[in-house]
Amino acid sequence: MIRKFTAIAFLVLGTTILPGQESLSQIFNKTYPKLVKLYGAGGIRGLAGYGTGVVISPDGLVLTVNNHLIEGGDLVAHLYDGTRVPVKVIAREPELDAALLKLGSAKQTFDDLPFFDVEVAVKAKLAAPGDPVLAFSNAFQIATRDEPVTIMQGNIASYGRLFGKIGIFDIPYSGNVYVVDAITNNPGSAGGALTDRNGNLLGLVGREVRNELTNTWVNYAIPIQAQIDVRGPTGITRTSIMDLVRKKEAYRPAPKADKPAQVEAYTGMILVSNLIDRTPPFVEEVVPGSPAALVGIRADDLIVYVDGIPVPSIISYRELMARYKPGDKVRMDVRRRDQLVGMEIVPIKPPEVPKQGPGQAIHQIIPGVRP
């Protein structure tokens, strides 16, 4: 921790101003109002309950990374002027590690927030190794309400594909990134802005990850021009951060239905009782001989991803599984103790339910089927 704070002091104090160039304080004063400090879920094995977002429209659209912070409810943001506002998650794109948020409530709207113009940023030339950069973020939660965010100065060290892990888990994004020669990726920094020396947006500061090849910490940012090929139920689709911004939805949004989704693809997993709106999809039992049993799913497994899409609740799981038919291949990632285990399940047609006898419950007649 001391090493990181020392780096911040050194990088800020070591600023060199070229002739005709604005000072670092001038750049900071016009740039930091375009960021928000985010507060939400935290405390999970020491994960921080705070982060950063980048304002990309005057009416309050915000880009950030798709991390644990936005998976829980009650997400709020602190604006540059100290205003505290609720935040709604509009869309998430796991493979890009990006999420789109909206500031304010139905009674609270904006039309003049300072913002980064992503349409301009995406058309700009990629930064090159050696180019000076600035990183703006809510690092270490040093600032709250109207206190300014942290700024760090460094240079682009390289541009290339990311190979990283979060703890023992592979991160979902594996495209090209800017690697920075400053310690920019600290607790709370994820989702911050990486800019050029003039404050023009280059990308989003990434998470705290280690390079899986060298086991060293990586300080990186996802370029605003990031694109990636994603495999889904209908094949491979190329998607980008700009697709997320323009469409305001992921390329494969969950179905919107007025009534509960009817699941036709039977896996043989019995989940815990759905007692609250966001009950996590823990597996309570697995029917012997079922598709889930055949691939090794166990009781107490937590379903984390279905074909790469995060599954925060039992309701989300049922909505996603309603898109599949018997015989479709479904990639599932489950958390088992401290490991993420991936497997491919081929669901079958749900067993026919015989008529109930007096006082006999459905799950007593056919194991794995619960009302």
pLDDT digits (tens, 9 = 90+) for 206-257: 998 887 667 788 999 999 999 988 765 566 778 899 999 998 877 654 444 4
Mean pLDDT on 320-332: 88
Mean pLDDT on 66-74: 77
DSSP 30-74: HHGGGEEEEE----STT--SEEEEEE-STT-EEEEE-SGGGTSS-
Complete domains list, the chain, with CATH: 2-223 (2.40.10.120), 269-365 (2.30.42.10)
Cα separation of 38 and 50, whole Å? 5
Nearest to 77 by CA among 149, 171, 27, 8: 149
Query: Where is 246: in which H helix or E strand?
Result: helix 241-247
The yes-or-no verdict on residue 302 having pLDDT over 80 is yes
| pTM of the entire predicted model | 0.67
Q: Could you report the per-residue pLDDT of 114-127, keeping only the tens digit for each?
A: 999 999 999 999 99
**Mean pLDDT, rounded, of the chain:** 82
- How many CB atoms are closer than 10 A to CB 134? 26
Dihedral sign computed on CA atoms, order 169, 179, 149, 60: negative
DSSP 256-284: P-SS-----SB--EEEPP--STT---BEE
Report strand pairing: 98-103 vs 169-170: unpaired
Share of the chain above pLDDT 70, in %: 78
The pLDDT of residue 13 is: 39
The yes-or-no verdict on residue 352 having pLDDT over 60 is yes
136, 149 in Cβ contact below 8 A? yes
* Minimum mean pLDDT range among 19-23, 38-42, 332-336, 366-370: 366-370
Mean pLDDT on 60-84: 89
